[in-house]
Amino acid sequence: KESKDQLIIDAGQKHFGATMCKSCGMIYTASNPEDELQHVQHHHRFLEGVKYAGWKKERVVAEFWDGKIVLVLPHDPSYALKKVEDVQELVDCELGFQQVIPRCPNKTKTFLFISDEKRVVGCLIAEPIKQAFRVLSEPTGPESPSTKECHRAWQCSNVPEPAVCGISRIWVFRLKRRKRIARRLVDTLRNRFMFGCFLSTNEIAFSDPTPDGKLFATKYCNT
């Protein structure tokens, strides 16, 4: 009986087996031509988008044993802005965001975490805000696993609280998660967003957090 179970499991793995690409992080079924094509497209786009050759004038705002953080500002050279655009496109695609126009494009600050392999493996986009609404509790209403919108329907307070800095995007490359890259990006942001002061966690707000984003934000703000 045991061996029969084992057989079924093996057969299942061969047929449905999902692979994760070690370069682009996409999970796909190698035996499915449609999936494979999608992977090839994503793979090229991803590697092109996150490649970081190094810039003559780069603003390194933090350095670590496994990489560095580069800050890009709205009036930087076009090659830097283009890179930010490419990364944001990948991030938005992964998060399922439609094109979002920043509220004050002239005040957006983008922090890129560059790995030792010269890849952009983390990205944080921040903008000044005046107020935010606290996330109150777990999502209400029936759990509907099929749509992303439902996952994001956290209940928010309707009492605005003063805030200074809104994090409109935070993203870490799938295979580099849980290595404190997001934490280091937010630490650097708090240090760098306003000249001469270190923002408290009450002064920063995460816009429209995903489940991952909410878990990270909760943990980050309590420690």
Among 25, 92, 183, 187, binds ligand ACO (CB under 6 A): 183
Q: Which residues contact residue 86 at a Cβ distance below 8 angstroms, ignoring those fewer than 6 apart?
A: 48, 49, 50
User: Of 55 and 214, which has the nearer Cβ to ligand ACO?
Assistant: 214
Q: Does 181 bind Zn ion (CB under 5 A)?
A: no
Site track for Zn ion across 24-63, x = CB under 5 A:
x------------------x--------------------
Residue number of the CB closest to ligand ACO reads 213
Q: Does 56 bind ligand ACO (CB under 6 A)?
A: no
What angle do the packed helices 78-95 and 33-50 form, to 10 degrees? 150
Contact between residue 136 and residue 176 where contact means Cβ atoms under 8 Å apart? no
Binding to ligand ACO, residues 82-111 (CB under 6 A): 95
CA distance 16 to 201: 44
CA distance 73 to 103: 15
Residue 167's identity, in one-letter code, is I
CB of 96 to ligand ACO, least distance (A): 10
CB of 42 to Zn ion, least distance (A): 7
Q: How far is CA 171 from the centre of its chain?
A: 1
Among 72, 181, 189, 204, binds ligand ACO (CB under 6 A): 181
- The interface partner of residue 216, options being ligand ACO, Zn ion, none and the CB cut-off 5 to 8 Å by kind, is ligand ACO
CB of 49 to ligand ACO, least distance (A): 15
Strand partners, 167: 126, 206
Q: What angle do CA 111, 114, 118 make, to 5 degrees?
A: 145
Cα dihedral across residues 133, 137, 141, 143: positive or negative = positive
Q: Report the interface residues with ligand ACO, using CB under 6 A.
A: 95, 167, 169-172, 177-183, 206-207, 209-210, 212-213, 215-216, 219-220
Q: Report the interface residues with Zn ion, using CB under 5 A.
A: 21, 23-24, 43
